[in-house]
């Protein structure tokens, strides 16, 4: 049985800044679990599979984790069910809130955070499998049970047309279909395996022109594996990393995610890294192309992108740049003395990658960069310590649930902790659940970053981090403004409570350090706050976006990131405006935000917004204008923070009744559509959201809108 390990780490290639507080990884123990527990796991796995076949939810409910972490009886408080004629009472709200708090207490990890999946894109796992395969470590790092659960995940998320999407709720795309098909073959599935699933997947690929039309990221991954030719990739010259920093298009000016992705990509391109041509690779060359591999005109494929994948077409200027680099620059760099530049450039990229690896304890900024860096370090030295350090951190990225095993974007430990903590505080049941808050308080104090990056970090294009929080844990090291703001909010709220309940307060100096970090990220132009690094007012850099799948990745943009989409943004905006003293009566923005939310409430009293809002930039309700409980909670919170209870409580009464009746017997709420978003064209599944925001909304409603009898 799979066991979730918390705050553990051992071995010569693992190290931590805080004794692995926040670390979470799954380990298979063949001797663990009773017969009843194993039967229950098989049951929920089959239920998910059957539900997906019948058009049910795509996202997992994280049920394996919840089965393991829950050690208390959650059924001893009877659930509340209100009839059409009944109103929400203080007592009904209290029962619902108490059940929700008890559920969160039950699934809290021993170090104080709330473990949960944060995944969803289907292109995350295949690059990891590619690097493990070409390096010959796949059966060392992954055992038979890993293989089985990854295969389960991929088959569970295959679309009816045979293809796979960019993300688990998305339509089939070439990058999703090709990478998942290749991943399944690497995992040992035959080309006719999966009861016809592989045949259907391959048919989708071939019916849509074959893998030559995979987007640029996919072209690079397949080139490293050896089933695509580097001649069919647009140039990613590593020489960009040694141009003068005054150059207007210098990589240091790019958004950190873009920079840390294309850094290892430029190494792979610069060295034309390719794994061994094995029988599997030779077979894949025949399976995913309608034309013989050796007869493909690879040069013509450089800008070939499947229409199902194309979201951000290249500009004319960018096409000119690619052609110039391909036909002029690259040929020149093959000859002395210009060839010296390639070696010098690669040395600089290696220096930057080594710094990034060390500063993140070999986790890197995220899963995409993790796999890319592993490819680079294997190519640099397959027996080197860097590659071994990276291998040791692979388990940190793997998550197993009832739908199978996938790769995290990166952990959401801090992010989930700060919101769960605020939801519990809003319940006004802090004394009853003091142990829960005490543990969360400990986790947040331990997870604050205590120092800036080492050495001359500005030369490595890094910024201050002291006093901040990362998205996951302290070891990750990449400081995030909104995680810092929410963690600071938690520490301030907890500082007002007796230490006998929540533990010792944090030193004021550390609070000031957090404020200093936030002010460092504030834009002097807009007044807003960037996520990771000070904003760079150079929108023209977006012209360099080489990705066909994502928009706005070169310079940080706020639209279509992190949550879906208008409801998410309006909730946070109204919360912030309320905190700054703005009200419905004295501020036009608050008034417009409230009216917007009220206009989107559906007939049953809830709210539900499609991920299409992110990509189209137009508010799009869910099909049938159905309700999503997390988004309903966002809308409720935004309205309550801006005084809706005093103006007209009726919309909130309807929404609260909806949440209470939707609550499950154990105090949790059903998993519905994914509500996280990323780069405008992709979704992220935050599995803990359904346990946080409905509880928070009901807690605030109970405080503000219900009178005890």
* Cα–Cα distance measured from residue 338 to residue 332, given in angstroms and rounded to the nearest whole number: 7
Cβ(293)–Cβ(286) below 8 Å = yes
Residue that is written with structure tokens 């003091």 in the block: 434
420-424, long-range: CB within 8 Å, 24+ apart, which pairs?
Answer: 420/104, 420/114, 420/688, 420/691, 420/692, 421/490, 421/493, 421/494, 422/486, 422/489, 422/490, 422/493, 422/696, 423/100, 423/104, 423/692, 423/693, 423/695, 423/696, 423/699, 424/101, 424/104, 424/695, 424/699
CA distances (Å), origin 280, targets 1, 230, 581: 31, 19, 64
**Can you list the alpha helix ranges (DSSP code H) found in 397-497?**
413-426, 434-447, 481-495
* Cα–Cα distance measured from residue 705 to residue 479, given in angstroms and rounded to the nearest whole number: 37
Residues 6+ apart with CB under 8 A from 379: 267, 268, 271, 273
- What kind and span of H or E run contains 678? strand 676-678
Residues 6+ apart with CB under 8 A from 383: none
Judged on CB neighbours under 10 Å (0-12, 13-18, 19+), 199 is: middle
Please tell me whether residue 503 adopts helix, strand or coil conformation. coil
Would you state the structure tokens that stand for residue 708, as one six-digit string? 């005890």
DSSP 8-state class, residue 607: -
Dihedral of the alpha carbons of 667, 673, 677, 679, in degrees to the nearest 10: 160
Strand 682-686 relative to strand 676-678, pairing? antiparallel
Residues 6+ apart with CB under 8 A from 684: 118, 119, 120, 121, 167, 409, 562, 674, 676, 677, 678
Q: How many CB atoms lie within 10 A of CB 507?
A: 10
CA distances (Å), origin 21, targets 37, 448, 475, 525: 28, 11, 9, 38
- What kind and span of H or E run contains 705? helix 689-705
Active-site residue (options: 161, 319, 482, 653): 482
Judged on CB neighbours under 10 Å (0-12, 13-18, 19+), 46 is: exposed
Cβ(333)–Cβ(345) below 8 Å = no
Cβ(349)–Cβ(263) below 8 Å = yes
Active site annotation includes 482: yes
DSSP 8-state class, residue 295: G
Q: Round to the nearest angstrom and report the end-to-end CA distance of the chain.
A: 48
Cβ(609)–Cβ(621) below 8 Å = yes
Q: How many residues are given for the chain?
A: 709
* Cα–Cα distance measured from residue 576 to residue 287, given in angstroms and rounded to the nearest whole number: 53
* Cα–Cα distance measured from residue 446 to residue 504, given in angstroms and rounded to the nearest whole number: 12
Cβ(170)–Cβ(685) below 8 Å = no
654, 615, 613: which is closest to 632 by C-alpha?
A: 654
Q: How many CB atoms lie within 10 A of CB 292?
A: 9
User: To the nearest 5 percent, what fractions of the chain are helix, strand and coil?
Assistant: 50, 5, 45
Q: Which residues are tagged catalytic?
A: 482
């Amino acid at each position: 049985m799979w066991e979730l390990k918390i705050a553990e780490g051992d071995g010569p290639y693992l190290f931590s800044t805080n004794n692995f507080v926040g670390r979470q990884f799954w380990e298979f123990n063949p001797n663990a679990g009773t017969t009843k527990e194993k039967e229950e796991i098989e049951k929920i796995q089959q239920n998910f599979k059957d539900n997906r076949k019948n058009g049910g939810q795509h996202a997992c409910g994280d049920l394996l984790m919840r089965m393991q972490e829950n050690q208390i009886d959650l059924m001893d408080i009877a659930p509340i069910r209100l009839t059409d004629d009944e109103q929400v009472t203080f007592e009904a709200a209290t029962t619902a809130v108490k059940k929700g708090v008890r559920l969160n207490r039950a699934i809290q990890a021993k170090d104080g955070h709330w473990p949960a999946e944060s995944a969803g894109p289907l292109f995350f796992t295949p690059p990891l499998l590619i690097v493990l395969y070409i390096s010959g470590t796949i059966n060392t790092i992954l055992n038979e049970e890993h293989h089985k659960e990854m295969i389960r995940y991929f088959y569970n998320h295959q679309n009816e047309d045979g293809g796979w999407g960019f993300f688990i709720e998305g339509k089939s795309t070439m990058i999703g279909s090709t990478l998942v098909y290749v991943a399944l073959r690497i995992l040992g599935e035959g080309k006719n395996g999966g009861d016809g699933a592989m045949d259907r997947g391959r048919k989708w690929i071939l019916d849509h022109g074959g893998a030559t039309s995979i987007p640029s990221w996919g072209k690079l991954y397949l080139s490293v594996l050896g089933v695509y030719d580097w001649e069919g990739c647009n140039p990613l010259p590593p020489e960009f990393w040694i141009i003068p920093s005054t150059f207007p298009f210098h990589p240091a000016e790019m958004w950190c995610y873009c920079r840390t992705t294309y850094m290892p990509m430029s190494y792979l391109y610069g060295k034309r890294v390719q794994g061994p041509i094995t029988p599997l690779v030779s077979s894949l060359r025949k399976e995913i192309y309608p034309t013989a591999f050796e007869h493909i005109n690879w040069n013509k494929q450089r800008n070939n992108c499947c229409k199902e994948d194309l979201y951000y077409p290249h500009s004319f200027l960018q096409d000119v740049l690619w052609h110039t680099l391909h036909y002029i620059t690259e040929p020149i760099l093959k000859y002395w003395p210009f060839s010296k530049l390639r070696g010098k450039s690669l040395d600089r990229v290696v220096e930057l990658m080594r710094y990034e690896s060390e500063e993140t304890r070999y986790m890197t900024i995220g899963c995409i960069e993790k796999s890319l860096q592993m490819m680079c370090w294997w190519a640099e030295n397959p027996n080197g310590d860097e590659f071994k350090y990276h291998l040791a951190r692979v388990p940190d990225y793997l998550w197993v649930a009832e739908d199978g095993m996938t790769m995290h974007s990166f952990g959401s430990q801090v992010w989930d902790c700060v919101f769960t903590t605020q939801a519990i505080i809003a319940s006004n049941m802090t004394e009853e659940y003091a142990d829960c808050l005490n543990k969360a308080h400990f986790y947040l104090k331990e997870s604050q970053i205590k120092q800036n990056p080492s050495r001359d970090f500005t030369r490595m294009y890094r910024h201050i981090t002291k006093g901040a929080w990362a998205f996951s844990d302290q070891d990750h090291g990449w400081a995030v403004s909104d995680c810092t703001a929410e963690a600071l909010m938690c520490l301030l709220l907890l500082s007002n409570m007796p230490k006998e309940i929540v533990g010792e307060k944090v030193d004021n100096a550390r609070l000031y350090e957090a404020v200093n970090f936030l002010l460092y990220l504030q834009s002097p132009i807009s007044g807003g706050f960037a996520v990771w690094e000070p904003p760079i007012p150079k929108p023209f850099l977006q012209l360099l976006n080489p990705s066909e799948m994502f928009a706005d990745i070169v310079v940080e943009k706020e639209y279509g990131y992190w949550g879906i989409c208008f409801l998410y943004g309006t909730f946070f905006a109204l919360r912030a405006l309320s905190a700054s003293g703005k009200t419905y009566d004295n501020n036009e923005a608050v008034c417009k935000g409230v009216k917007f939310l009220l206009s989107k409430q559906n007939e049953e009293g809830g709210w539900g917004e499609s991920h299409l809002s992110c990509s189209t930039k137009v508010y799009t309700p869910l099909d049938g204008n159905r309700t999503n409980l997390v988004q309903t909670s966002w809308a409720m919170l935004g309205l309550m923070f801006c005084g809706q209870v005093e103006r007209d409580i009726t919309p909130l009464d309807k929404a609260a009744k909806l949440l209470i009746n939707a609550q499950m017997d154990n105090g949790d709420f059903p998993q519905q559509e994914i509500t996280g978003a990323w780069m405008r064209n992709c979704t992220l599944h935050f599995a803990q959201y359904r346990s946080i925001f409905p509880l928070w909304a009901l807690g605030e409603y109970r405080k503000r809108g219900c009178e005890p009898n």
